[in-house]
């Protein structure tokens, strides 16, 4: 490095030349060097400060690169042989730094399932964190799960086992997705146990399928006018004993509710879904209209949020406890609504409840 002083002898106007390696290291410190030049009383003091700066910057640079190298080589050595065993055709994605690996499992019905392994680097210990798109939790033996050597291959093995266990569940969900107008979720992941689908005009049901026993009666909640909902509930209660676990969930539902569920093959989605009568949109904060005017000639649909806001604005509305009574903005017929959205919550119909819990226990033992 060479420092050229100007004729005036002013340190602040000195020129510094150096080779490219040094230049590279100093590139982030240009301003600092300029400041030090201006402040230094003489050249010797500046050189002392410059030496400190150089040492510091070098340390920082060394620290970052070696950190990456360690994690990289460690993961590399442990993980590569495991991936060889699993088979590279099952590796879906690996990120640049080798800190996250996504594996795929194609089941017999060529459905794709993913397990993502992320390595959390905390000082010396590298802990793997698994996320899957399974509807059930992945139970891994704790001691083994902590070690990196075990992690990928074994977890993939347990993952495949869990997929086998859920085959019936996936079949049920696929049947629903294929044969009904699903309203929610918009894009269901394999892990999602809930589906809300149309049963007819302005009436829909949301079910929560038990992944261990998918052919049993699911938890359900009907959306629609009071009249329609109570009709369906009545039928369900009357025909409950007809539920046949050897038949599919959809077949059972149709038999028990005595309806045929509209499917994409014989109907248009617009026949069953109408936008909210107040905001005129379908989705508000990702929810569909879930409240219906009970008057049979109106049956206008609203988002809970919109209807609540409307009833609040209406000077003629009355509140008693947590219910607001007011008028439908369309037909002016009386309408009421719970103030805190407290009308949500499932109707429980868990005839096999105990069995379900027993099953969970068994899996944990295993």
Partner 1 sequence: MANISISRVKREFAEVVKSEEAKRCGICIKMLNENNFTKLLGEITGPPDTPYEGGKFLVDIEIPDSYPFNPPKMKFITRIWHPNISSVTGAICLDILKDNWAAALTLRTVLMSLQVLLSAAEPDDPQDAVVAKQYNENIHLFMKTARHWSEAYAKARPIKTQDFHEKVRKLSETGFSDDSCRTALSKSGWDEQRGMETLLDS
Interaction of residue 159 with partner 1, rule CB under 8 A = no
**Three-point CA angle 198, 199, 204, nearest 5°:** 55
> Residue 343, interface with partner 1 (CB under 8 A)?
no
Read off the DSSP letter of residue 218: P
CB 195 within 8 A of CB 188: yes
d(CA 256, CA 236): 6
Q: Least distance to partner 1 from the beta carbon of 342, Å?
A: 21
The b-or-e profile of 44-65 (16+ CB within 10 A means b, else e) is eebeebbeebeeebeeeeeeee
The 294-323 contact track toward partner 1, x by CB under 8 A, reads ------x-----x--xx-xx-x--------
Number of residues assigned to the chain? 366
* SS3 state at 185: coil
Toward partner 1, which CB reaches closer, 191 or 279? 279
Instruction: Pick between residue 165 and residue 305 the one whose CB is nearest to partner 1.
Output: 305
Per the DSSP assignment, residues forming a β-bridge with 113 are 105
262 within 8 A of 181, measured Cβ to Cβ: yes
Binding window for partner 1 (CB under 8 A); candidates: 123-131, 137-145, 249-257, 328-336: 328-336
Using the minimum distance from each CB to partner 1, give the nearer residue, 93 or 313. 313
Site for partner 1 (CB under 8 A): which residue of 289, 304, 329, 335? 329
Using CB under 8 A, pick the residue from 330, 350, 352, 363 that binds partner 1.
Answer: 330
Kindly tell me the burial class for residue 265, based on how many C-beta atoms sit within 10 Å of its own C-beta (0-12, 13-18, 19 or more).
Answer: exposed
Measure the CA–CA gap between 334 and 350, rounded to whole angstroms: 35
User: Hey, which residues between 73 and 132 contact partner 1 (CB under 8 A)?
Assistant: none
Cα(187)–Cα(319) distance, integer angstroms: 38
C-beta of 309: minimal distance to partner 1 in Å? Answer: 5
Tell me how far the alpha carbon of residue 343 is from its chain's centroid: 25
284 lies in the site for partner 1, by CB under 8 A: yes
Q: Considering CB under 8 A, how many residues would be counted as binding partner 1?
A: 16
What is the x/- site pattern for partner 1, positions 26-45, by CB under 8 A? Answer: --------------------
Residue 280 touches partner 1, criterion: CB under 8 A: yes
The pair of structure tokens assigned to 320 is: 């008693």
By beta-carbon proximity to partner 1, the closer residue of 71 and 331 is: 331
| Piece of 118-126, 182-190, 209-217, 275-283 that binds partner 1 (CB under 8 A) | 275-283
Q: Which residues bind partner 1 (CB under 8 A)?
A: 277-281, 284, 300, 306, 309-310, 312-313, 315, 329-330, 332
């Amino acid at each position: 490095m060479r420092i050229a002083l100007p004729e005036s002898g002013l340190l602040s106007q000195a020129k510094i030349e150096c080779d490219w390696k040094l230049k590279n290291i100093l590139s982030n410190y240009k301003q600092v060097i300029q400041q030090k030049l201006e402040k230094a009383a003489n050249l010797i003091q500046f050189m002392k400060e410059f030496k400190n700066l150089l040492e510091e910057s070098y340390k920082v640079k060394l620290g970052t690169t070696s950190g990456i190298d360690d994690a990289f080589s460690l993961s590399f050595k442990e993980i590569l042989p495991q991936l060889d065993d699993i088979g590279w055709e099952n590796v879906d994605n690996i990120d640049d730094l080798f800190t996250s690996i996504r594996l795929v499992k194609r089941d017999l019905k060529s459905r794709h399932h993913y397990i993502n392994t992320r390595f959390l680097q905390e000082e010396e210990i590298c802990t793997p964190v698994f996320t899957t798109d399974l509807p059930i939790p992945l139970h891994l033996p704790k001691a083994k799960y902590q070690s990196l050597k075990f992690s990928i291959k074994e977890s993939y093995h347990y993952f495949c086992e869990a997929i086998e266990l859920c085959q019936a569940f996936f079949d049920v969900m696929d049947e629903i997705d294929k044969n009904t107008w699903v309203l929610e979720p918009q894009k269901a992941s394999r892990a999602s146990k809930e589906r809300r689908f149309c049963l007819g005009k302005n009436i829909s049901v949301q079910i929560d399928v038990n992944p261990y026993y998918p052919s049993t009666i699911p938890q359900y909640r009907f959306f629609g006018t009071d009249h329609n909902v109570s009709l369906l509930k009545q039928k369900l209660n009357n025909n409950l004993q007809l539920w046949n676990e050897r038949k599919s969930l959809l077949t059972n539902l149709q038999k028990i509710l005595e309806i045929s569920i509209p499917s994409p093959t014989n109907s248009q989605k617009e026949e069953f879904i109408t936008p909210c009568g107040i905001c005129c949109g379908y989705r508000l904060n990702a929810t569909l209209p879930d409240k219906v005017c009970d008057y049979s000639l109106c049956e206008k649909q609203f988002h809970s949020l919109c209807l609540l806001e409307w009833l609040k604005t209406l000077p003629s509305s009355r509140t008693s406890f947590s219910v607001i009574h007011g008028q439908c903005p369309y037909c002016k017929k009386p309408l009421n609504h719970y103030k805190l959205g407290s009308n949500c919550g499932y109707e429980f119909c868990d005839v096999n409840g105990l069995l379900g819990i027993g099953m969970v226990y068994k899996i944990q033992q295993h």
